[in-house]
Amino acid sequence: LNDNPLHYKITLSGTVKSPKINFDPPFLMLMPVPLDVKTETAVNIIPQDYLRQSQIQVELPELELEDGGRICPFSVEFSEGQDIVFSSDGTNKELMCHISFRSSRPMSFLGTVFFIDEEEN
């Protein structure tokens, strides 16, 4: 290019993909159980388009009782860790988590459990 009047033009194109996670099953229903008995189910977390390692955090709902008190009857356990790992083949490893519910008081609940990565997606 030095002292050469010819101009070179380079055209670049690309697609931006935002990281996301899907769930299998996409929603869950825990079966009714006697008081103080744990009910539990496994959920497969399927990360997509993560280009670097990230970690999943969970926000569990607190429930308000009739007397005004609050409890969190849910718990989440990741059997193989909470890290989203970028594989050499360009995919992300799936994560397995177990969501459980236990309460010493009778209740039913419909709500949302939030799974959030380090960038608050």
Between CA 63 and CA 105 the distance in angstroms is: 11
Percent of the chain with pLDDT over 70: 94
Other C-beta atoms within 10 Å of 107: how many? Answer: 13
Nearby residues of 98 by Cβ (< 8 Å), 6 or more positions away = 40, 41, 42, 43, 76, 77, 79
Is 115 in contact with 21 (CB distance < 8 Å)? yes
For residue 31, pLDDT beyond 80: yes
- The confidence score (pLDDT) of residue 118 equals 86
What's the CATH number for 20-116?
Answer: 2.60.40
- The confidence score (pLDDT) of residue 29 equals 87
Span 73-112, pLDDT tens digits: 999 999 889 999 888 787 899 999 999 999 988 887 788 8
For residue 114, pLDDT beyond 60: yes
